[in-house]
Amino acid sequence: MAFFRSVTALSRLRSRVGQQSNLSNSVRWLQMQSSADLDLHSQLKEMIPEQQERLKKVKSELGKAQLGNITVDMVIGGMRGMTGLLWETSLLDPDEGIRFRGLSIPECQKLLPAAKPDGEPLPEGLLWLLLTGKVGGGLRCDMISCTEQRAGRWLVQGIERSCHCPRPVPYIPLELHIICVVEYYVYKAIDALPVTAHPMTQFASGVMALQVQSEFQEAYEKGIHKSKYWEPTYEDSLNLIARVPVVAAYVYQRIYKDGKIIPKDDSLDYGGNFSHMLGFDDPKMLELMRLYVTIHSDHEGGNVSAHTGHLVASALSDPYLSFAAALNGLAGPLHGLANQEVLLWIKSVVDECGENVTTEQLKDYVWKTLNSGKVVPGFGHGVLRKTDPRYTCQREFALKHLPDDPLFQLVSKLFEVVPPILTKLGKVKNPWPNVDAHSGVLLNHFGLAEARYYTVLFGVSRSLGICSQLIWDRALGLPLERPKSFAASCYCKLDRPICGDWGLKMDTASICDARTSQFVIGTPYLKLVPRVSSLPSNFRFKSNSTVRLQARQRFSTVFASNSTPSGGDSLQEKLDTKASDASQGPPFLTILAGFVFFVLVCWIVGSIVMWLTGLIVQLLKS
């Protein structure tokens, strides 16, 4: 099956288009204005050196600049508020929400191409934006069909159709054309799982099976130069983006329908074809799927799925392995599974209170949920501090296409009821609805009511953002991600009584050496504070809590009593051995070395004193 792959400049395509007759079967193509008449691969190849130089300049000029202070609260609290990733494709603002290459969701809805007048943006347009950072002034879509030749060339046929553009200015078109052939063994890998397996389990297994065709893995095994890593990554990424809707649709048909594969429709775009392969051909559902894929595609790099994909890929795992790992993170209840939880919770409200629930009944049910130790799904966000713009655009879609839907009306009431209650609790930083609060209701309206499957839709969408950034990770040569961790057990309590008249005081946070399981504390340092009298600067003692301290003039070393270094006895046994050795006194060579050092110092000091004395005597005589 053929579907969206970027291979040639559409200038050549247009010459062919003029020679071809109308065809009944066709595929939608995206054409966008760019600085040169280049296909996507050539466009990236032209941009990469410039972006590499930009990154080098940023590193050389701002390499030592601080992006913020890291506190223990941040480390323990899931690294919230820490800036630690380079993510080019999108940025999440706490107040404005997500921006794709600087464009907000309303701006994308205005500027990106649509399948019909005032329609939702096409995912292909967003993919081009994420990869290149550019949006054409005049956008068009052509309807063409293609087949792959065994010789490796492409036969492109079709007729030119216009797409609705915001501004009719000159354009330089681009052909996007991806082969989405899913081999039989992918289906067999999925079929090996029980039908009762969660849809995300089957989906991730299918993506892993696709990895057999990884061009990056093959190129790496042949010894490709690291400066060329991005090229097979590009091929894998676009192939993956094209194939995941086919795999996802098969999972849906296998679990909820008769298991038959619905062939793609060559007249449809990416989002529309995905809806068609799922079995939904309502034009409004096609529009919803275009909107859904677009707004769920990327959400900067710190969320679980995006960060997981970036982390795994930093080890030079190919896009298939990286995206499969990202899907496993997405399947968690605190991430992508939340949209499933929202619809189930809303249906539980209807089951208990009925569809015509009053505001007071809704308040009581919300309090009932909170008092039971649960959260109200679909509200709050780790970064956002206002209503999620992705929620807003879905609400506008609902007002336009399904204003009388009972569940939509319930969601509207929740928007009025829940935030004040969460604000009253005082524990929630963001009481406003997020993207998950609305998507399930829209899908349910058009017949996609299987809530367990919703995360798979999220996963298909997220392939655009993760794979786009992965291409740039390889193009920019980003290194292996390896942050430092710390062990809370290595930290001592403040002002803790240690022994007798001495206490332990933490001046600043100290770092635990993972290799030796010790604190090596210099400046800032962990110091012993005398309570009554002072002790010599060189001493040893034991505490009742198995903490050993050895303090010297400039530094102290605190051993973690519960650490066991690899390759031998436990730390406790080693400390006991050291304590036993210390009780026998210092070795003879240590005493001799100290004596020699003392004599040497005295000789140097004496020589200096004698020289100064002689110099003074000479001056007095003269």
Q: How many CA atoms lie within 13 A of 78 on its CB side?
A: 8
Please indicate whether residue 335 is annotated as part of the active site. yes
Contact at 8 Å (CB) between 166 and 110? Answer: yes
Rounded to a whole number of angstroms, the distance between the first and last alpha carbons of the chain is 107
Residue 318 appears among annotated catalytic residues: no
Which residues, 6 or more positions from 6, have their beta carbon under 8 angstroms from its beta carbon? Answer: 39, 40, 41, 174, 175, 176, 177, 178, 238
Strand partners, 542: 548
For residues 9 and 37, is the Cβ–Cβ distance under 8 A? yes
Cis peptide before 524 (omega within 30 of 0): yes
Q: Collect all residues with Cβ–Cβ distance below 8 Å to 68 and sequence separation of at least 6.
A: 81, 82, 83
DSSP class per residue in 444-493: HHTT---GGGHHHHHHHHHHHHHHHHHHHHHHTT----------GGGPPP
DSSP 343-380: HHHHHHHHHHH-TT--HHHHHHHHHHHHHTT---TTB-
Q: Which two tokens stand for residue 455?
A: 């995360």
Dist CA 51 CA 132 (whole Å) = 11
- Sign of the Cα torsion 307, 309, 311, 313 reads negative
Cβ 545 vs Cβ 561: under 8 Å: yes
Per the CB < 8 A criterion, the answer to whether 126 and 109 are in contact is no
Of residues 335, 364, 405, 576, which has the active-site annotation?
Answer: 335
Q: Which member of 381, 401, 438, 445 is catalytic?
A: 381
Neighbouring C-beta atoms of residue 156, cutoff 10 Å: 22
Q: Does an H or E element contain 87, and which?
A: none
- Rounded distance between C-alpha atoms, residue 251 and residue 278, angstroms: 9
Alpha-helical (H) ranges within 257-358 are 270-278, 283-295, 304-314, 319-330, 338-353
Report the sign of the C-alpha dihedral through residues 178, 184, 185, 191, in that order.
positive
- Identify whether the C-beta of residue 20 lies closer than 8 Å to the C-beta of residue 27: no
The single residue of 39, 318, 388, 436 carrying the catalytic annotation is 436
Cα separation, 189 vs 194, whole angstroms = 11
CA 14 vs CA 160, 174, 228, 285, 289: distances in Å: 8, 10, 31, 32, 29
Q: Are strands 512-513 and 518-521 parallel, antiparallel or unpaired?
A: antiparallel
Which letter does DSSP use for residue 70 in this model? -
| 225 in catalytic set | no
Residue 316 DSSP one-character state? T
d(CA 401, CA 291): 13
User: CA angle 221-7-461, nearest 5°?
Assistant: 80
The token pair that represents 244 in the structure block:
């995941």
Which amino acid is residue 400, in one-letter code? K
Q: Name the residues annotated as catalytic.
A: 335, 381, 436
